[in-house]
Structures are given as C-alpha cells and as structure tokens.
C-alpha cells in the first residue's frame, strides 16, 4: 500500500512538472486546425515558421535582435511583478527612452562615442524610469491604480512622439525632400551600438540585455532592496508589519520597470533603427509582459522566453509569406501558446495543492 | 411517532432513532507523507459524552471527518448499532443520525435563525417555504435543551455563543442522534461554556451520543464520561474520566511529563515602557473598536489582556504595532510618543510584536525560514553589508535560532508554508525575542499551537519577563492569561472593564468581567496597582 501510493505520488509530480511543456504542442494543434479553416497547409506553415526563426544564420540573428527588447522589457516587468505591481506602460516607456536617447545623440553629435554612447543609454533609461515613476508616485501617494495610470502614460508618450517626430525632431532631409515621413535624422555614427555579426542587425545591445538579466537576478535575490521588493510583492501586510514602507517599494518597482523599458527603447534606436521613427516600440511593451510571465517572472527564465517569442515574431513573417495567411494568425498562435502554458501551469499548481491538502 | 417516551422505544425525545452504539474499528487514513490515523478504534454509546483529546495534528479532526462523511477511510470500518456504514458525503452521515458542529460556523449571517435552520432542507410545501413550522420546532428544541436564542433574530446580530447554539439547533433539527463537537469552547466565555455544558449533559441524559473534541484538559475532565487520547494518529489510551487526572492526560497527549504550573518569581518592576493613554481606535465597520483604553506596562512584568474574541483586542494590538491608525489618545514607547509613527519606527525603538495572524501578518509564507527570520533586521549587520545580503551570516544565525528555539524544519531553506502552525509560531518567537526587545506585544501567541510548543512559548515569555522586557500578553485563553500575568486587564466592547492582580484573580471573577460586568466598589477601572 505505501509503495503504491508513493509511486502514484511521484507520477503525479512528474505529470505536473511536464504539463506546461505538453501545453505547447496542444496549442500548435489548435493552431493547425485554424490553419485548415483558413485553407492553408499546416505542415507548410509550421515548417516556414521554424525556418524563418532558426533556418539560417541571418534568421537566428534576427530572432536574437527581436528577443533583445523583449528581454529588457521583460526584466522590468519581472521587477514590477515581483513587487506586486503591474506595469502595462512598457510601450510608453520604450518610446520616451528612444526619444530622449535620440534627442541627446542628435544634440551633442560632436561628442566622442566613449561619452555619448553610454550617456544616451543612461538618459534613455532615466527617462523610462521617470515615465514609470509618475504612476509609481501616484500609487504610493494617492492609491491610483497603476494599471490605469501606466496605460494613460502610454497614450501621452505616443502623442508626444507624434508631435516631436512631425515637428521639432523631424529629419531636416524629410522636409527638404517634401516627403515628411515622421522620423528623426540619423544618429551620429559614434552613438551606434556596434554590430556583432557582419551583414546582420545583431548588435551589442543583446549582450547588454544578457548582462542586465544577470544583474537583475543579483539585485532581486542578493540585495536588501530586492529582498524588500519581493517581500512587498508576496505579502504587503507582513512587509508593513516588519517596518518596510510598502508604497515606497511599490513605486520603486514600477520605476525600475520603466527604467528597463526605457533602456530597451534606447537600445532599439541605437542598435537597430539608428534613428527614431514611428512604431519603434513595435508592441514590445506588451509582448515583454508575456515573455516575463512565460519566463516565470524570473530574470534568467525570461532569457529563453524572449528568444522563443523573438523567434515566433521572425518566423511569423516567413510563414505569412509561405501560406498567405493574415498576419493576425501569428498573434492568435502566440495567444494560444500563452493561454495554454499559463493555464496549464495554474492547473498543475492547483492539482498539487489539492493533493497535499489535509487536516 | 412517539416523542413522549424517553428512549424506551429506541427513540430520542426528538423522535430520532437512537444510536445505541457507534464503533470505528481499525481506521486508517493516509495523506501524502503523513499517516493521519493509524488503526484507530473509537466508540461512543447513547447517553455518553466521550472526549477525544489530542494535540493539533494528532488526527482528531481527521478521524471525525471520516465519521461525518467528509473523508473516506483507507481501511477500517464504521458501525452504527452493529451495521457497517459507508458514508460518501456528509448527507449520508446526516441521514444516519450524525451531526457535527465545526470550529468555524457554517451560518449565513444575512438570514434569520429559522432560515438558517431550514436552509438546504426540503420544505413540506414544495417550493414554498414553511418557516412557521420550522420556527415552532426550533422553539421546542431550544426549550428542551436550554439553547436560548431568538428564532427570528438575524445571525449577524448574534454573539458567537448564540451562533454556536444555532449550529446545535440545526443539527438537532436534522435529527442528530450522535453529535460531534469540534473544539466547541474555543470561542466562548467561561459562563457560556457552563451553559453549553448544561445543554450537552441534558442531551446525554436524553440518550444522545456525544463526541467532544478538545485539547483543554480541565474541560474534558469537567464534561466527559470517557476520554480517548490520540497522539501521532494512534490511540494512546481510553480512560473513564473519573479514574484519570490532568497530569496523566497531559502526559498521554505529549508523550512526556508536562509542566502545568510555571515557576514564577515575583515581578521586578522597572520603569514604564509602554504607556497607553485614552486610546480610541476605529474598527473595520466604522465603529470605535477600542474606546478610551489606558494601560501601562512596566519593564519586567507581564500584563495580560483578557477578553472574549472580538472585543477590540485585535484593533488594539494593530494600533500598538502601527498597522492601524489611532483616532485619539497617545501611545508612549519608552517615553517617546509613537502614536502616529509607522511600524519601522517602533521596531527601531525596540518593540517586538507577535501578531495574531501568523501567516498573514507575521511571515511571508513563500519565503524560506531564513528569509523570514531576517524580516525586520535584514537591512542591518550582520545580515547585510551595504545593500548586499550576507548569506553566510544569515545561514549561520538562522541555523542557530532554529536550533535554539526548537523550530522543526528540514532546513532553513524550507518555505515557511511547509511548517506546522506551532513551528511557524516558534520561528516568529525566535525572530522577535532574539532582537532583545524592550517591549513585547504578544497577540494570541499560542492559539492553535500544541501543548508541547505552548509550554515552550510560555517558558520563553517568562524568561523574557525575567530579562526585563515589558510584555503585553493579549489572549482569549484564560488559563494562559492566569498562568503568566502579573496583572490582568479585562477588555469588553473596547473598554477596559477592570485591572486585577494576576496571581489572585479567580476564573469566576474574570469570567464576569469578560461578560462586561464591572468590578464593584473600590476597584473601579484602572485604579489599582500592584
């Protein structure tokens, strides 16, 4: 009797551990059904998806290029979530980070790269932090819901960008040519992040993001500030009891979240586009949330999660071309994967809890 | 159906068939990693009160949940009047004549007593309620068993003791011939306990079979005919109550001799460390939960705050900890006005607080034992240097504290949620006492904690008193208050009804005060001092 129940218990635990992994193929099967409804060949579509993501050196570097802002935003989201606050303001924070880095680089285009490049990254980070601090302070002081206020801050950042890119910051060449495309001038060369592989877009920002992931891990788990943020996020009541000023650390968590999104914006400008343009944030502010959740809100887990979603983004382009499905299908597929993985994880946790409850 | 003849035709006065004998034979119940019941034999007969005694986690509640159909035994049999029963749900058990009064009441506050009793029953009038009939029956039953309660009152208007009576009425109405009472006295004043015991005796006389679950020895001795002691899921023994005594039962429960009376040298009073002046604190429902309370605690003394649950103790404790705003009045900690200071300032001044809700307020359950031990002092050496946590120091000190305070845990990295209540409490005690506090506020420090751990916690509190800490002990357990306190303040509806000398206070005197009866004559309010 004891033997049998022990074995059963082990089997249960194994099952619960692999559930989230099993969820991905299930999501893909449903994706395949949708493809069939769209009269596309799922085999061809998925082959194109995989090839697009990792089929060549170029596609691998493209995957990593897309993964970089996802990772940076995801790190910020991780800090905020660990502190028990939800930052939906990634988009706005990316935009102000990119705008300020661009403005700085264009204003001081004579400065040497050794100063200008790190300064641009820093200013991008700080302005993202500022964009996060506003909802943070509003929450701490007045109890304003941070989900609402971060979304509002997105709208403000977007309109600010629209104004600047059409007015004060527009590329003088665009006015001359009369095309008036809403984008800034090209950044001075010394403010470009170096490319890692010739003929590709892979840039040093990816390495920076990896370093940041390790730093965030150290910050959250090895420092007193990280300890406090996690304490506040897990049990605000107990944190308050222990003398931790809860609102301050909640505000700090959103501010740091904003800082990483701002850095992502600066990196995207300096590494990929080399100029500020409309739509630069590219939805990373939202996909970064998904990457962070997928990475189990762990800085190191967010690394593979970002690569996975980066790969999906890149592969989706190729798939779209291969089987002529609407681009919305890719979003659907990503949504399905997230939905299945997240809910299977919740299911596994509940199952485990039910098994172990007694008395 | 005859309701006149007392039991002669095998029926109770309520009309229900008697349960002449209920036997549980060789019950085994296993949970992952725990053998909760290990071949337990237990029986109860009509007309008898059989106490089931044991520490938390001994398997009492598990055993009774099997009898009530909430769990199915892995092995063993349940026999009623010699016939084997298979209960798949509480409905089956209720149909067989078994009723259970849970620790947490299962009543709907917005309904009346009668509506609660009728809830879930088939009405004789189809989809229409027949509340008049239910009410009539409720009145009969409450008359018969001295269960005083207004059938038309809303449950939210009732005191806890009255709510318990409604639960008993519900069970009787459903025809319970065998009633299981799970720690029924935990929420009652001593006077209410007396009333409950009268009711239980009357029920036993009428031929009901009663199972009384408790870990309070004196109650078991006062009410039961037989006592069965469980320890670690096994039956240690069954004794006729009149042939046993407190120390034998305590030893059976714990497995070793237990100190029931503490050595308490006279208090060496120092300066006033905690002074509460005319404190008014709001409650959750907008009323004043603490009303004009004044109290002083000196270095080297334990002041007990006694009272029935819900009379403002929780709000007072939270105000003292800085977790609840103060409306008016002052709190002085070591002479400094901290009335409106945040918790951190109080901690820095040397106040420690053992909160009533240890999982909600006192610990972060996902954090490890070590991380919880540094909750208040993580930002100071030796736990951290600058902003970096010093893991070696944290581990070393945590391991020492876990050893010193007897916290049973696989390691200091184990999440606190995997520890038992008693061990979590010892962990909090270790954290709060190792800071060498000047003032300690201990709120229900041993609630839900087993005898062994309770004894340990009490000893530690007394040690702390000897070391010169000013201790405010807030407890609903009168025995605890009396065993430890130098002075006892009684709180009723947010007011201090009186303060009496600890060692000479009697349970009756305190019980009356807990029910709101002020002390007569010369000692009115906080006039007397040691």
Of B383, B400, B434, the position where a domain reaches its end is B434
Flag whether B366 is in a domain: no
Please tell me the least confidently modeled range out of A13-27, A272-286, B108-122, B156-170: A13-27
The domain that contains B345 carries what CATH number? 3.40.50.300
Q: What is the DSSP string of A296-320?
A: TT-HHHHHHHHHHHHHHHHHHHHHH
Note whether A29 contacts B: Cβ–Cβ < 8 A. Answer: no
In angstroms, the CA A270 to CA A109 distance is 13
Stretch among A202-216, A229-243, B158-172, B268-282 having the lowest mean pLDDT: B158-172
Confirm whether B51 is domain-assigned. Answer: yes
| Nearest CB neighbour to A237, from listed B342, B360, B389 | B360
Question: A32 versus A327: which is more confidently predicted?
Answer: A32
Residue B16 lies in a domain: no
Q: Is residue B6 part of a domain?
A: no
Residues B276 and B315 in one domain: yes
Among chain B residues, the shortest Cα distance to A221 is held by B389
Distance between B320 CA and the closest CA of chain A, angstroms: 11
CA distance B363 to chain A (A): 6
pLDDT at residue A75 greater than cutoff 90: yes
Number of structural domains (chain B) is 3
Chain A residues with beta carbon closer than 8 angstroms to that of B378: 224, 227-228
| Average pLDDT score over residue span A164-171 | 92
Question: Could you give the CA distance from residue B67 to residue B16 in angstroms, rounded to a whole number?
Answer: 18
CB nearest to B61's CB, from A5, A238, A359: A359
Q: Is the peptide bond before B382 cis (omega within 30 degrees of 0)?
A: yes
Q: What is the pLDDT of residue B8?
A: 47
**pLDDT-derived band of residue B310, with 50, 70 and 90 as boundaries?**
confident
Instruction: For residues B295-310, give the mean pLDDT.
Output: 92
pLDDT class of A181 with cuts at 50, 70, 90: confident
Name the residue facing A359 among B62, B348, B365 (closest C-beta).
Answer: B62
My answer on whether B233 and B278 are in the same domain is: no
Q: How confident is the model at residue B292 (pLDDT cuts 50, 70, 90)?
A: very high
**Cβ pair B361:A241 closer than 8 A:** yes
Residue B530 binned pLDDT confidence (cut-offs 50, 70, 90): very low
* A195 class by beta-carbon count within 10 Å (0-12 exposed, 13-18 middle, 19+ buried): middle
Q: How far is residue B52's CA from residue B62's CA, in Å, rounded to a whole number?
A: 12
State the pLDDT at residue B218: 86
Range of the domain at B186: 21-254
Give the tokens for residue A120: 């641009």
CA atoms within 13 A on the CB side of A239: 24
Comparing alpha-carbon positions, the chain B residue that sits nearest to A232 is B364
Are both B125 and B207 inside the same structural domain?
Answer: yes
The DSSP string of B320-360 is HHTSS-EEEEEEEETTEE-TT--HHHHHHTTEEEE-SSIII
Same domain, B323 and B377: no
**B288, B280 Cβ separation under 8 angstroms:** yes
**pLDDT at A135 exceeding the cut of 70:** yes
Residue B482 pLDDT > 50: yes
Do residues B170 and B309 share a domain?
A: no
Q: Is residue B27 over pLDDT 80?
A: yes
**CB contacts, 8 Å: A227 with chain B:** 371, 378, 389
Among B434, B454, B476, the domain boundary falls at B434
**In sequence order, what are the residues at sequence separation of 6 or more whose Cβ sits closer than 8 angstroms to the Cβ of residue B246?**
B217, B218, B221, B260
Contact state of A358 with B31 under an 8 Å Cβ cutoff? yes
CB-based contact A239 B364, cutoff 8 Å: yes
Write out chain B residues lying below 8 Å of A235, CB-based.
360, 363-366
User: Could you say which of A225, A227, A243 has the minimum Cβ distance to residue B347?
Assistant: A243
To the nearest whole angstrom, how far is the Cα of B176 from the nearest Cα of chain A? 24
Domain ranges of chain A: 68-295
Give the pLDDT score at B123. 67
Q: Residue A352's closest chain B neighbor by CA?
A: B32
CB atoms A358 and B361 under 8 Å: no
Q: Are residues B48 and B192 in the same domain?
A: yes
pLDDT at B522 over 80: no
Mean pLDDT across B127-131: 74
Reported as a pLDDT band with limits 50, 70 and 90, residue A325 is: confident
Average pLDDT taken over every residue of chain A: 90
Say if residue B477 is in the same domain as residue B494: yes
Q: What is the 3-state secondary structure (H, E, C) of B474-513?
A: EECCHHHHHHHCCEEEEEECCEEEEEEECCCCCHHHHHHH
**Which residues in chain A touch residue B371, judged by CB atoms under 8 angstroms apart?**
227
Long-range contacts at B519-524 (CB < 8 A, ≥ 24 apart) = B523/B498, B523/B499, B524/B498
Size of interface A-B (CB pairs under 8 A): 83
C-alpha angle B515/B517/B523, rounded to 5°?
135
Q: Are strands B226-231 and B75-80 parallel, antiparallel or unpaired?
A: unpaired
The backbone torsions φ and ψ at residue B240, rounded to the nearest 5 degrees and listed phi first, read: -65, 135
**Mean per-residue pLDDT over chain B, rounded:** 88
The ipTM estimated for the assembled molecules is 0.84
Q: In this predicted structure, what is the pLDDT of residue A186?
A: 93
- What average pLDDT score do residues B99-108 get? 86
Percent composition of chain A: helix, strand, coil (DSSP 3-state, to 5): 80, 0, 20
Cα separation values, B326 from A140, A156, B293, B297, B342, Å: 21, 40, 12, 19, 12
pLDDT digits (tens, 9 = 90+) for A41-74: 889 988 998 998 998 999 999 999 999 999 999 9
- Pick the residue of B65, B183, B348, B364 with the most A CBs within 10 A to test the interface with A by mutation: B364
The distance of B322 to chain A (nearest Cα, Å) reads 8
Greater confidence (B517 vs A277) lies with: A277
| pLDDT confidence of residue A4 | 67
State the smallest CA–CA distance between residue A76 and chain B in angstroms: 20
Contact B342 A243 (CB under 8 A): yes
Q: Which of A223, A242, A358 sits opposite B375 (nearest CB)?
A: A242
**One domain for residues B429 and B443:** no
Q: Is residue B421 part of a domain?
A: yes
**Smallest Cα distance from A219 to chain B, Å:** 9
């Amino acid at each position: 009797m004891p033997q049998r129940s022990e074995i059963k218990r082990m089997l249960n635990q194994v099952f619960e551990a692999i559930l989230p992994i099993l969820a991905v193929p299930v999501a893909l099967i449903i994706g395949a059904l949708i493809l069939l409804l769209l009269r596309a060949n799922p085999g061809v579509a998925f082959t194109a998806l995989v090839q697009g993501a990792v089929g060549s050196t170029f596609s691998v570097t493209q995957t990593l290029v897309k993964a970089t802002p996802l990772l940076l935003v995801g790190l910020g989201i991780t800090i905020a979530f660990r502190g028990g606050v939800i930052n939906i303001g990634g988009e706005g924070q990316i935009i102000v980070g990119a705008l300020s880095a661009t403005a700085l680089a264009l204003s001081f285009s004579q400065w040497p790269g050794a100063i200008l490049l790190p300064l641009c990254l820093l200013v991008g980070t700080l302005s993202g932090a500022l964009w996060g601090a506003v909802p943070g302070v509003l929450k701490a002081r007045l109890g304003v819901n941070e989900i609402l206020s971060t979304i509002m801050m997105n709208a403000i950042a977007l309109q600010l960008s629209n104004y600047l890119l059409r007015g004060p910051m527009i590329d003088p060449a665009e006015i001359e040519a009369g095309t008036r495309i809403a984008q800034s001038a090209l950044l001075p060369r010394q403010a470009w992040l170096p490319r890692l592989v010739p003929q590709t877009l892979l840039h040093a920002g990816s390495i920076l993001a990896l370093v940041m992931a390790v730093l965030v891990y150290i910050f959250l788990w090895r420092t007193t500030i990280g300890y406090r943020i996690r304490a506040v996020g897990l049990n605000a009541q107990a944190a308050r009891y222990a003398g931790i000023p809860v609102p301050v650390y909640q505000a700090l968590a959103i501010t740091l979240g904003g800082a990483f999104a701002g850095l992502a914006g600066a990196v995207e400008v300096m590494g990929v586009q080399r100029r500020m343009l409309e739509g630069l944030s590219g939805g990373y502010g939202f996909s970064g949330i998904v990457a962070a959740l997928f990475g189990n809100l762990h800085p190191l887990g967010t690394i593979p999660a970002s690569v996975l979603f980066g790969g999906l983004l890149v592969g989706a382009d190729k798939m779209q071309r291969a089987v002529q499905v609407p681009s919305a299908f890719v979003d659907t597929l990503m949504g399905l994967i997230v939905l299945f993985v997240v809910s299977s994880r919740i299911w596994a946790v509940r199952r485990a809890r039910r098994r172990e409850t007694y008395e | 159906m005859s309701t006149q003849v007392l039991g002669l035709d095998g029926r109770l006065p309520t009309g229900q068939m008697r349960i002449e004998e209920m036997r549980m034979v060789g019950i085994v119940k296993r949970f992952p990693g725990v053998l909760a019941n290990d071949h337990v034999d237990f029986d109860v007969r009509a007309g008898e009160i059989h106490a089931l005694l044991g520490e938390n986690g001994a398997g009492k509640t598990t055993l009774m949940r099997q009898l009530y159909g909430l769990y199915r035994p892995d092995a063993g049999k349940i026999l009623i009047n010699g016939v084997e029963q298979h209960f798949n749900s509480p409905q089956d058990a209720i149909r067989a004549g078994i009723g259970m009064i849970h620790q947490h009441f299962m009543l709907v506050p917005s309904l009346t007593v009668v509506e609660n009793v009728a809830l879930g029953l088939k009405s004789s009038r189809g989809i229409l309620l027949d509340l008049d009939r239910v009410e009539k029956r409720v009145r009969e039953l409450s008359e018969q068993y001295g269960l005083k309660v207004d059938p038309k009152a809303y449950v939210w208007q009732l005191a806890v003791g009255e709510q318990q009576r409604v639960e008993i009425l519900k069970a009787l109405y459903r025809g319970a011939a065998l009633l299981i009472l799970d720690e029924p006295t935990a929420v009652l004043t001593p006077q209410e306990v007396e009333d409950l015991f009268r009711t239980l005796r009357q029920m036993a006389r009428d031929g009901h079979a009663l199972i009384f679950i408790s870990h309070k020895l004196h109650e078991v001795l006062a009410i039961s005919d037989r006592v069965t002691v469980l320890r670690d899921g096994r039956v240690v023994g069954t004794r006729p109550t009149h042939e046993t005594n407190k120390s034998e039962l305590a030893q059976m429960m714990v497995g070793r001799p237990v100190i029931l009376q503490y050595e308490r040298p006279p208090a060496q009073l120092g300066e006033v460390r905690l002074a509460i002046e005319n404190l008014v604190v709001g409650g959750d429902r907008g009323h004043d939960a603490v009303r004009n309370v004044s109290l002083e605690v000196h270095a080297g003394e334990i002041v007990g705050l006694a009272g029935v649950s819900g009379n403002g103790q929780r709000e007072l404790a939270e105000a003292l900890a800085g977790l609840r705003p103060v409306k008016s009045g002052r709190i002085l900690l070591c002479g400094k006005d901290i009335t409106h200071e945040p918790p951190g300032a109080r901690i820095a001044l040397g106040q420690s607080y053992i909160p009533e809700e240890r999982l909600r307020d006192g610990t972060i359950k996902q954090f490890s034992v070590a991380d919880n031990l540094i909750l208040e002092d993580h930002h100071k050496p030796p736990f951290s240097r600058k902003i970096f946590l010093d893991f070696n120091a944290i581990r070393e000190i945590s391991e020492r504290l876990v050893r010193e305070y007897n916290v049973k845990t696989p390691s200091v990295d184990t999440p606190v949620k995997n520890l038992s209540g008693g061990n979590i409490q010892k962990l909090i005690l270790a954290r709060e006492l190792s800071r060498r506090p000047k003032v300690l506020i201990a709120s229900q420090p041993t609630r839900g904690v087993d005898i062994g751990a309770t004894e340990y916690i009490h000893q530690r509190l007394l040690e702390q008193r000897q070391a010169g800490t000013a201790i405010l002990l807030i407890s609903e357990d009168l025995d605890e208050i009396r065993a430890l306190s130098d002075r006892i303040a009684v709180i009723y509806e947010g007011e201090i009804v009186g303060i009496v000398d600890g060692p000479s206070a009697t349970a009756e005197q305190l019980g009356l005060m807990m029910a709101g009866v002020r002390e007569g004559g010369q000692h009115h309010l906080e006039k007397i001092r040691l």
